[in-house]
Structure formats: C-alpha cells, structure tokens
Structure 1
C-alpha cells in the first residue's frame, strides 16, 4: 500500500520533423544524425501548441485513465525548462485550462530529471495526506530554446508532454523509493542562459542567448556513470537486484547513452523501453511520454516493478522504483 500512479497521458505536437527535413536547414545528414543519436524524427510545436497546452492535453488523458476529475486535484506540478512564460507558471496555466479549481500549482526546474523529482515530491504529499490527488507533468517545447544553427543540439531535441495522476492505494502496489542527486559545479557542460538582464549591473558577460548549450562528449561520460550509480545505489538500498525489475524506462537522451547504460547494467533489450527514434530528447517530458506509451501498449502489467532513471542539466540525475 502507498503512493501509486493512477493514470498516465501524453501529448505530442502535430508537426513531425524528420532528419531529412533538418538537412535543409543545417549542415547535417540523416545518416549522421541516426548513427550518432538514434533519432529519426521529432515533434516540433506549431500554432498554439505552447508548453501548457500540451501539458493540459496530456493531463486530460491521464485524468481519464485514472477516473479522477480535475476538480479532485489538490496539486499540479509541471516539470519544465521551457515554460510558456516565466510568470505565471505553466502549472497555473494548466490549472486554469483543465478546470482544476481546487488545486494549487507550480513549476519545477530540474531539466531532464524533472519528472522523477516531481513524482518523488508527490509521494511525500500523498504520505502526508492519503486523500491527496496530485498531477505531475513533464512538458517541453525545446524548439523555443534551441539555436537552430547549432547542429550539435538542434538535431537532438523535440517537444511534447507526459502526465501522471498520483494518489494513494491500499493495494500491494506503490512507490518504492528514489535516489536523486545534483551537482551544480558542472553547470557549464549543459546549460541555458536566461534572456539578457535589463539591469546593466547584472548582465552576464558570456550570455550567448536563451538557448541550450551542451558539451556533448562530457555530458555523455557523466550521464552514463551517474545513472548507473543512481540505479545501483537505489537497488542496493531497497535490497533488490535488476532481476527483480520488469521494465526499465530511462530518459530518452540519445541511443549511444542508452546503449552504454544497458551495457553497464547488463540489461537485455526486452527489459528496456526505448522510443528516442520517434521523439528525440524531450527533456522533462521524456520519461512520462515513454511511461504512457509503455502502459498503453501493455508493456506494464499489474504487479510489475518499474525502474526509471534520468540525467539532465544542473547537473541533476536519479533513479526511482515503483511497483505497479
């Protein structure tokens, strides 16, 4: 008994951008992108597909699966680094969009690890009040935070949203625990500046713009080790082994990181859920989109133990376990 995920949902923008499409705007090729990242296409927002709009659509699907009305929600948390506005938060926009009139709301900034941080936070609220219903969303429109002339980043990222409704259950299912970490000393390897300060005394000298900057090779090395350590540390603490895990849903960064992680953890192909080829790296939306896809394609059954792991800018990283 304990904290459970009652329902999941996801929403992807209508517009699909293939590697061939990117060949027309940046110096790259389909073969180059596929061989280095495993990504073949990504969804890019257009029209009114703002972060909060994608979030709201994903939320509605999760609420429907959970059988929970929006008015029953007590809290909405949106994990994002690409909010529609700096203020109000995307979560406040979602609260209004779905009619969650009894919920308070805020955004959480932990980059690609945001959804895991959010689920862990929700667990604490549910433990404090078993009647709580909490909506945790991971959502990004990273197309608004990319330098489209930088082929090292613009080929990787995509847009989308995933959501989970979290509550309490007397069943044997439940949130087992997490192993979360951060290291702010390495921020320069993966970061995004804010818009330039309007206070001349607080202008950042090396602010190149409000878009993602990444040292890919260095991030790769840190990401694989950090996720492996987080997984092994969590399993050891909970006295479990990888044989006890039915499905691993890692952050969909790129195929090289995923393959290296599988190799280091000695995971068989059928135990790892991967969809990076279709969506690219959607940061905080990555795991909840994959979770919803896995659930709706019957990759997760009642009683399964599911392991999540992620790594993102900050640096932030971690692993979480839940028995479905």
Structure 2
C-alpha cells in the first residue's frame, strides 16, 4: 500500500488501552496495544508467529500478552518470554515485531517504519490537549474513506461556510482573506473574516459577543497526517492575541486506503470549567465531524473509483492551495521512501500505486 511508513502515527487514546488488548489496523498492518507492568503502552504486530492467531484476542497478565490459541506469552518488546510446550524453548522465530511507542499529549504514538529512524523529536506538538489552563473535549471515530480526502477537507476551513452552515456560516465570508505559508516541514493555512456578525456557534458559546467580530480560522499541517487548527473571535479591530477560541486537534491515521482512524479534540481558552460549554462543543463535534464532514468525504470516496476509471482529475479552485501543497508533500515523502528502499536493495514497504483520491495540481 502506498503510505509513508517512516512517520509517527496515533494508534489510540490512552484510555482506550487499559486492562485488555486493543486491536487496531494501521497502514494495513494488524496491530495490538497493551499495558506493561509499569503502565507503559506497548504495540506489537497482532499476529502470533506460531499459527498466526490474533494476539488481541488473548489476555494481559503481569504485563505480558498471552496468545489465546496456545498460550505463548510476549513482553512489550515482542520477545516470547514463555512457551508452555515441550522444553519451553524460545527461539527468535517466536518473537513478534514491536513498534516504537511514545505516549504524549494524551495520545499514543507509534513509529510505523524502520525503528532505527524513530525520533520522538519529530512528534507534532499537541501540548494544548493537556494544558491545565484550557478546557478540553475530544474523542475518536472511524471513517470509511482515504485519509487524504480528510486532509483536503481540513486544509480548507472555508468549507465550514457550506458544510457546517447551520452553525458556522459567516457574513464575513465575502470579505475573507487567505494566506498559505510553509515553516520548515509544516504547512499553514490562514483565513481571516473581518467585521462579521458572530455566527450561531459563537453566539451560543459567547453570549456576550459584540455585534461585530473579527474571526480567524487557522490550520497547520504536520507530516504526515496531523493538523492543529485555531478558530477564534475578538471584537472587530482587536488583536488576534486577545481572541477567545479553541485549538482543534485533528489527527488522521490510515487504517487502509479506504478507511481512517480520526482522533480529535478541542482545547479552549474561555469558560474552561463550564460543563455546559463542554456539552455545546461535544454536540458540535458530533454534528460537524461524525455527520457533516463524514458524509461529504465518504461520498467523495464512493465516487473515487469511477473518477479514476474515467481518468478524471479534480478541477482546482483558489481555496485548494493549502490542500494541494500538502498533497504534493506527501507524494514527495512516498517517493523518497520508495527510492530509499530501491537504492538499499530492500523491498519497499509501500507500492508505487498512485493514491489519486487526494487533490492534485
């Protein structure tokens, strides 16, 4: 499958990995997560080397993962530490592939490629998710579409004017300004809505909002499939630094070419201890992400095969600049992996198939 493997991906939220194994497919690989005796998360290939049973159907005892079929036990590094059969021999052929794991910012990250290349310094900064001075809501859901379609969606927050019109439509859209910049490996897209009436969601969260506000919808892409946005408002003419708003984490982990794990969160700088605002934001996340965005991108996915069969290419609009730049960068990273595998005489993890569901240009 054509993925960037040498990258960090979120496999789970910490409270999903508790007292039993968690099965989750990432980049086409069946994986299993569990807790060791010290509480640290471990991730192994979800495949027992004996009969290829699903280790995730087993149990965790004493920080070891036990296969449900014949009782082999594995530690967090994938080593077979107990063989209840014969003389108990544990040759290396009984070991399971393990993955580098970092638990940070209320997320469990894994490095999907060559373990020797894993550098925790490359993990995106999502400290806003655990900032005690902010209010937080978030969760996880699954979508039946390619992750690149979701990135296209997230890199153009102007879509809220239409997809999320009941809550986010702004009369300032006709005057909005856009900018796209690159900072080292990251790509940023900015939208400013000047002198607009507060939209319905803003009015619900900020009942004291003035008649006219300036609004911002910023989004930053981190390689390979994570974004951080900031949606905020302030009285018209005020500095952005004085705005009230929320940092949204939108982290996409490909399950396969046609399915994606979506980890999301909202961290706000107002009413941080107000459970009523928590509920407003939870309702908004359900509506916007699991209904409205989900329907759009899954409908696009459903038509992608027809578009490819007839050699259609997407028509580009000016609002696509950020999404196209992200798509080109991911294409480049995929090529780098293939070329690296070719020159090192190692079979590539990914294929040369074209993931043409994302925007091109």
Same-fold status (TM-score > 0.5): no
Q: TM-score, normalised by structure 1?
A: 0.26
More strand as a share of residues: 2
Q: Taking CA–CA contacts closer than 8 Å with sequence separation of 6 or more, which of the two structures ends up with the larger relative contact order?
A: 1
